[in-house]
Amino acid sequence: MIKSFQRLGIIIGAITLLSSCQTYKVSLTYNPPSLSQRIIKGEPLIKLDKINDVRNLKGAEIGSIKNEFGIPIKSIYAKQPVSEITKTAFSHALKSRNLLSEKDAKYLLQADILQFECTQFSAQNAECRIRVHLYQAKTGRLIFSQYYYSTKTKVSPNVSYWSKVDEIASVASEALQDVVDRAVDDNRIRQIIK
C-alpha cells in the first residue's frame, strides 16, 4: 500500500515536472541593411510617432515552445515590450535609409502591431502583422495606411524539451525585420514623400 502511494507520488511529480512551463526572456534584434544590400535612400522627412501593441498577447510575451502533446513547456518573452522593440526597429530602418527626421518632419509614421508571435511544435514558426499609417505632420491627415505580413519557418533538430529559445527568437526577429523593411521600402510610401 505504501509502495503504491510512493509510485503515485513519483508519477504525479514526473507529470508535474514534464508539464510545467518555464519562462525565458530573449533578445530580439533588427539589423539595418548592409552596404552591399540595395536600399534606396531618401530625405529625412518622417518622424516616428506611436507604435501600438494591439495583439492578443500583451507586453513582452511572444510565444511558446510546446512538447509532443502540444502542451506549452517554455514561455517566451522579449526583454522589452514588443511595442518598444518594434519602434526601435522602425527607427533603425528609417535612419539607415536617411528617412528619419527628429524635428521639422513633413510626415508622421504610426503603426499597430496586430500580430507578433512565435511557436515551436515540430518546426519553429514566427508571424508578424503590422498596420502602418502615414500622416501629414501639419494637418494630421491620414494619407497612407497598409498592412504588412511576414511568416518565417525554420526546421530545427531540437524539439520539445531540447528546443533552444534563442533559435526561435532569431526566427521571430527575421519576421519582424521583414515586415519593417517592406514597410519602409514600400514604393507607395516613397512616391508620397517625394
Mean pLDDT of 64-91: 91
Q: Please report, for the chain, the start and end positions of each structural domain, with discontinuous segments joined by +.
A: 21-192
pLDDT value for 180:
97
C-alpha–C-alpha distance, residues 33 and 64, integer Å: 29
Give the chain's mean pLDDT. 87
C-alpha–C-alpha distance, residues 21 and 2, integer Å: 30
Mean pLDDT of 110-128: 93
Please report how many Cα atoms fall inside a 13 Å half-sphere around the Cα of residue 38, on the Cβ side.
0
CATH fold of the domain at 21-192: Rossmann fold (3.40.50)
pLDDT value for 18:
52
Kindly report, residue by residue over 17-54, the tens digit of the pLDDT: 555 678 889 999 998 877 666 778 888 999 999 999 99
C-alpha–C-alpha distance, residues 129 and 167, integer Å: 20
pLDDT value for 86:
97
Cβ partners under 8 Å of residue 78, min gap 6: 25, 26, 27, 28, 60, 61, 62, 85
Judge whether residue 111 has pLDDT over 90. yes
Mean pLDDT of 140-157: 93
pLDDT value for 19:
52
More confidently predicted of 124 and 2: 124
**Residue 132, burial from CB neighbour count under 10 angstroms (0-12, 13-18, 19+):** buried
Three-class DSSP category at 35: coil
pLDDT value for 149:
98
Judge whether residue 171 has pLDDT over 60. yes
